[in-house]
Amino acid sequence: MANVAVVGAQWGDEGKGKLVDWLSERADVVVRFQGGHNAGHTLVIDGVTYKLSLLPSGIVRPGKLSIIGNGVVIDPWALIAEIEKLSSQGVSVNRANLRIAGNATLILPLHGELDRIREEAAGAAKIGTTGRGIGPAYEDKVGRRAIRVNDLADLSILGPKIERLLAHHNALRRGLGQAEILAADLFKQLSEIAPKILIYSDAVWSLLDEVKREGKRILFEGAQGVLLDIDHGTYPYVTSSNTVAGQAAAGSGLGPSSIGYVLGIAKAYTTRVGSGPFPTEQENEVGEYIGQRGREFGTVTGRKRRCGWFDAVLVRQAIKTSGIHGIALTKLDVLDGLPEIKVCVGYSLDGKRIEQFPAAEEAQKRVEPIYENFEGWKDTTAGARSWAQLPAQAIKYVKYLEELIECPVALLSTSPEREDTILMRDPFED
């Protein structure tokens, strides 16, 4: 039985929350391994909608252990607010079902403020961040000046750490014309939040090693998508962490041999939030139709998502850079009723056909999609739970995508509801 890592195979927002929740029924432990509260997962269970940003999707399932790994950057105030929100919906969160890596980096108020100041100053060149401080927090982590969860356990040694951090940030703030941050103010904020966070702190790598030795199933949950990876995405319009499946090992403390199957999530079309290249974007009535049918608004920000046709080149590239074994195809029902569907099968760059997305930013701006047209279907796929319930033309579309992306479709999601899922291959048994 394989432990499974779930990653987005596009630019995020592919429906990972529902699929991870659905798969967590077969798992014992669900681990979030990168990103921060810039990523949102929406779960619809028995008519109740749960919106998660930091908490792993398995938190809504009784008897499952959820873990926030060391690869995640954690805003402690946002986390407590999320826990309280879930509590108001009847979901109890405590040490029995949630652990946080003690060596995870904290997002502080100064990080969010710096994020927003930079974006505003960038004008038309802005990256399109959520302004929640994820990038600046990762910068401090790499710069070895970050404050981590474990640092809150001994407030007597927190002062020098804050001074080291502020030596950097206050210099930045002076250069940006902003008031400096007082060390005493930050110390007070951290000392107040510390006891609320420390109750969940643990040596996650050791805990996961025990779980592995006991033969329990582990589900690794990624945020965003492979095309937003800091190395392999559409740089510089990317997130600040590695989103590929390899990060599941580094961001949790288990070695790569612990991951047996990588499941990539992809929509039957393509969406993107924020700035950056998007070859198949449809800034027309088709894009508007997809956006309205798919309810394409960000879980975290509420921003309208950019919509376009399925890009087989980008998904195939994501499959290769992330070692994806199978794809979970979501939102097939959004395409119901379209007389014609286009699929990007290659690009034209400066008059030449290419079969991969270039890494250079200027080249990315110049690529033009090469489409193949596919006949749509009139009957609905919404709520289908078996192949037999799908229109023949919809099945042909799925098979067509499998050939283009060179990867099998393991699961098919036909609505936001947990049970509206068609299983072709069980990742835990493959």
Check: CB of residue 269 under 8 Å from CB of residue 331: yes
The residue with tokens 């969160």 is 93
- Pick from 168, 159, 223: nearest CA to 186: 159
Could you list the beta-strand ranges (E) of 223-359.
261-267, 270-272, 306-308, 310-311, 326-330, 340-349, 352-354
Question: How many Å apart are CA 110 and CA 169, to the nearest integer?
Answer: 8
- Pick from 270, 267, 222, 314: nearest CA to 414: 267
Residue type for 13, please? Answer: D
Neighbour-count burial of 351, counting CB atoms closer than 10 A to its CB (0-12 exposed, 13-18 middle, 19+ buried): exposed
- Pick from 301, 317, 299, 315: nearest CA to 128: 301
User: Which residues are registered as beta bridge partners of 372?
Assistant: 343
Residue type for 274, please? Answer: G
**46 catalytic, yes or no?**
no
Task: Give ∠ CA 223-405-335 in degrees, rounded to 5.
Answer: 75
Among the options 21, 28, 37, 41, which is catalytic? Answer: 41
Question: How many Å apart are CA 222 and CA 300, to the nearest integer?
Answer: 16
Pairing relationship of beta strands 65-68 and 98-101 according to DSSP bridges: parallel
Task: Kindly state the tokens that stand for 33.
Answer: 């391994």
What are the start-end ranges of the H helices in 133-255? Answer: 134-142, 158-175, 183-198, 204-213, 247-250
**232 catalytic, yes or no?**
no
Question: How many Å apart are CA 116 and CA 107, to the nearest integer?
Answer: 14
User: Which residues are registered as beta bridge partners of 42?
Assistant: 51
- Pick from 14, 12, 10: nearest CA to 318: 10
- How far does CA 258 lie from the centroid of its chain? 21
Among the options 13, 151, 311, 333, which is catalytic? Answer: 13
Pairing relationship of beta strands 29-32 and 218-221 according to DSSP bridges: parallel
Question: How many Å apart are CA 375 and CA 186, to the nearest integer?
Answer: 59
Give catalytic residues, as residue numbers: 13, 41
